[in-house]
Structure 1
């Protein structure tokens, strides 16, 4: 646990949501169970193994001592979450969590909920993917599949997208996404569809074709999406959804499946789409085994052949 304690000893007040300590990346032996995130003004410490009260007391003391040094007079707000064997326990350890709780990232603002559920409303490891979308969405019609709370939609519109169609089977997540848009001064340009894409593609296909399609599914969610079974079914749809020259942002966060899995699936399902690059993950998510980390790939549809006079 020493590497985590060392990270806490270097802690500084955070202006934006970000990861502070990434034990899961395997670069800190003995700390693989730990992650520490800033969701200002709250710190969220996550363990992927059970933790006893004595350990939590040591961590609380470390956080309190550091916070007294760097933010004298400011309350320490921190939450502990344990995720183990599909069980989630979340506890407010000190201070309070604002309601609503709004965090920022590179000029965008998002609602988060750190006291309920395993997912807090914003996936911090996708920061570079969001930045790529912001830089490539100008004048594009965008399809955002598995939209969750629609963070990609917000940054696409900030980047000049003409329109974004957000699709997710969770009505609750879509409702938060709808709130994220006015939170960023975005009054129009986005539509929201609470829908299971595998039941029917009609509405999605009729809304196309699209200049950019974002695919960010859960790696394994029973009744929703299982990557080994469903990703190729989805990939087969991509050529018909894309404009000539359109791009796909293809995401997968499954440690057991590597980049080669995605590329092979795409080669079999839609060989006409051309692989361009794998986006880097944020430096804070550095991993001893990059293929176990988040994978974000960019593909492009072929351009129209020039007319022959």
Structure 2
């Protein structure tokens, strides 16, 4: 397949978006979303001074990569890094040459709305340290965090927490199981000089959440529990819940299709009266209204009520079929 035409069309559609991004000091965004724009399984992003080309279904051949590089060069003379992730488990399978390899393996800095974030296009994990479709979530947190205590769950590299701190939060607790991700989060805090308000808790989400909510910590099938950080019961003004689709540990199972409430309930209990919990679900097959209805029922079962509902929709650099984006984000203010 010749990708030149569909990529050029996608770039043309984004011209107004690109101009606005430049004004807002944003140099990281999606330039081609193949599933919707004509090449299923091919995504192309800008990360600072690099174009990141990723194929998830089929390996690009040399001619196809040249076609893509030619179109991209018309929009910016940046490094082109190609990550072939078409193999099992979506791991990067290909080698790069010369400068592109050195660049991809080194830490770089990019910006979103003036906030600096560390990025690395190839590392021990899989993704480049910041999920670009979550931009609307980071903007919401920056806008609504002033003088608030913030809990950022499944924080990954703490982009949400960093945005909240830059927005003037008085306290930000980032919780994630990965020491690698939290180390990147600490760099993000340092880049933006907000280390003084940011905390980094390396923990399974279940024991962390249950302790913060004042609930007992248990395990699956009475398994022996490993050690975990001890946390005091605490409530927060603003809670961000962005779990992975599925994960399993001795403490519990994360399942966004069948049991979102298992995480939502303790997270909601950590949310102060009048506070807001922002919930994310990235599973395409989950219908957004039925998911919202399940959250409302869970709140009401706890004798509380939702006083405001705000959907946060992804930006136009991430187009979707019929405006039904797989990533659903809703902010619930709870009394």
* TM-score over 0.5 (shorter chain): yes
- Asked if the contact 1:278–1:296 (Cα under 8 Å) also holds between the matched residues in 2, the reply is yes
Cα distance, 1:87 vs structure 2: 3.7
1:211 is the counterpart of 2:237: yes
Q: Which residue of 2 aligns with 1:109?
A: 116
Q: Which residue of 2 aligns with 1:293?
A: 326
Matches of 1:62 and 1:3, distance apart in 2: 7
Q: Which residue of 1 aligns with 2:187?
A: 179
Secondary structure (helix, strand or coil) at the match of 1:174 reads helix
- Where structure 1 has 5 or more consecutive residues not aligned to the other structure, the ranges are 303-309
Deviates more, 1:197-206 or 1:247-256: 197-206
Q: Which residue of 2 aligns with 1:305?
A: none
TM-score calculated relative to the size of structure 2: 0.79
How large is the Cα RMSD of the aligned pairs?
Answer: 2.6
- Where structure 2 has 5 or more consecutive residues not aligned to the other structure, the ranges are 214-231
Q: Which residue of 1 aligns with 2:147?
A: 139
Secondary structure (helix, strand or coil) at the match of 1:165 reads strand
- Asked if the contact 2:83–2:93 (Cα under 8 Å) also holds between the matched residues in 1, the reply is yes
* Change in 2 beyond 3 A, CA 1:285/1:273: farther
Matches of 2:192 and 2:202, distance apart in 1: 21
Q: Which residue of 2 aligns with 1:307?
A: none
Q: Which has the higher contact order (CA 8 A, sep 6+)?
A: 1
- Asked if the contact 2:288–2:328 (Cα under 8 Å) also holds between the matched residues in 1, the reply is yes
* Change in 2 beyond 3 A, CA 1:164/1:104: same
Cα distance, 1:64 vs structure 2: 4.0
Cα distance, 1:197 vs structure 2: 2.4
Q: Which residue of 2 aligns with 1:42?
A: 50
Secondary structure (helix, strand or coil) at the match of 1:86 reads helix
Deviates more, 1:130-139 or 1:59-68: 59-68
Matches of 2:138 and 2:166, distance apart in 1: 11
Matches of 1:63 and 1:134, distance apart in 2: 35
Deviations 1:45-86 (A, max 9, x none): 1222122xxx43223322443455555xx5643222324552
Matches of 2:276 and 2:61, distance apart in 1: 46
Deviates more, 1:122-131 or 1:266-275: 266-275
Q: What does residue range 1-309 of structure 1 map to in structure 2 within 5 Å? A: 1-2=1-2, 5-8=5-8, 10=11, 16-24=27-35, 26=36, 28-29=37-38, 31-51=39-59, 55-66=60-71, 69=74, 76-91=79-94, 93=96, 95-96=99-100, 97=103, 99-116=106-123, 117-199=125-207, 201=209, 203-205=211-213, 206=232, 208-223=234-249, 225-271=254-300, 272-274=304-306, 276-302=309-335
